[in-house]
Structure 1
Amino acid sequence: MKNQTTVPDIPVSPFAGEAPDMFFGLPMAMARAMALRGERIGHNQAQVRMGFQPDQANSRGEVHGGSIATLLDCTLAAAARAHDPAAYGVATIDLTLHYVAAGSGDLIATARCERRGRSISFARGEVRGEDGTLVALATGSFKLIARQPAPAGA
């Protein structure tokens, strides 16, 4: 991944301005709880920002590792469905993380789907601080789940 916090070859999200409990077009209350904002998606890639929240800090006041894991899980999953984000959800099969440095303030994750099969996708990504500091790396595999259209009148 590039050594910057905004990756210009990922298109700006067509879901810009969506409600805080939406995540790249899908309802996800956890997005609000974790202050996740989908910033970019497309070309098999995704970028997500997690706003700093004191309730998600560890005893040193830095972002807790569990929050970083959630950010990476959601960002890699978004990259896995970036080819058609409104048509697919995903289920995480596995996720491997490597913490590199402490994170503070807002964190930005970027991910790329490295391989997509008929039902399983493989992605890798990273988290950086707003200053570009590498915080964590991850790889994961995800089961693609076709979304069912909402019933008429719902």
Structure 2
Amino acid sequence: MTHSQPAPPANPFANEPPSQLFGLPMPMAAALALRGERIGDDRAQVRMGFQPAFANSRHQAHGGAIAALLDCTLASAVRAHDPAGNGVATIDLTLHFVATASGDLIASAHCERRGRSISFARGEVRAEDGTLVALATGTFKLMPRQALGG
């Protein structure tokens, strides 16, 4: 996904609690300060608030936190057609770290292809100043909410 592609539509989940991400309960979302900003049209955008507890020795966002942000954002794009009705399981996630950053990070992702059960997405993370921080592609298994127990 390039920086010039259209943003996903407004977030119908704007007032959800910090332990949810686009309608799904996710305690890790609260731990990593993930906030779903936009979802729909096969796209998602998630912000990760900077937290010193998830910084590396240089006081920049740790690669593991960036990986979690990308995993959650790509997974959200895959379920953007029915965010509250589907969960996903990550099958494969490939990341490329491009630059370091501190401060809030914004991930955006697009579902490239959705099948009946397997979907593919790509996305990126940028710093608030627009600096490209990381790129990712992922493969996900769609899982209807009733199969997830909720």
The answer, yes or no, to whether TM exceeds 0.5 is yes
Q: Distance in 1 between matches of 2:113 and 2:136?
A: 15
In the alignment, what sits opposite 1:36?
Answer: 34
Query: Residue 66 of structure 2: which of 65, 68, 71 is its match?
Result: 68
* Equivalent residues of 2:87, 2:148 under 8 A apart: no
In the alignment, what sits opposite 1:3?
Answer: 3
In the alignment, what sits opposite 1:54?
Answer: 52
1:126 paired to 2:139:
no
Give the counterpart letter for 2:72 in structure 1.
C
Q: Map Cα deviations across residues 56-106 of structure 1 (whole Å, 9 max, x no partner).
A: 000000000000000000000000000110110000000000000002100
Larger Rg: 1
In the alignment, what sits opposite 2:80?
Answer: 82
1:92 paired to 2:94:
no
Q: What secondary structure, in the 3-state scheme, does the structure 2 residue paired with 1:145 have?
A: strand
Give the RMSD, CA atoms, in angstroms.
Answer: 1.8
Q: Map Cα deviations across residues 45-66 of structure 1 (whole Å, 9 max, x no partner).
A: 0000000000000000000000
TM-aligned CA deviation for residue 43 of structure 1: 0.2
Residues 34, 150 of structure 1: alpha-carbon distance in 2 compared, 3 angstrom cutoff:
closer
Return the TM-score normalized by structure 1.
0.93
Structure 1 unaligned blocks of 5 or more:
none
Return the TM-score normalized by structure 2.
0.95
Residues 150, 13 of structure 1: alpha-carbon distance in 2 compared, 3 angstrom cutoff:
same
- Identity level (%): 71
Q: After TM superposition, which residue ranges in structure 1, 4 or more long, deviate above 3 angstroms? A: none
Residues 149, 91 of structure 1: alpha-carbon distance in 2 compared, 3 angstrom cutoff:
closer
Q: Distance in 2 between matches of 1:150 and 1:54?
A: 33
Residues 88, 55 of structure 1: alpha-carbon distance in 2 compared, 3 angstrom cutoff:
same
Q: Map Cα deviations across residues 14-39 of structure 1 (whole Å, 9 max, x no partner).
A: 00011000110011000000000000
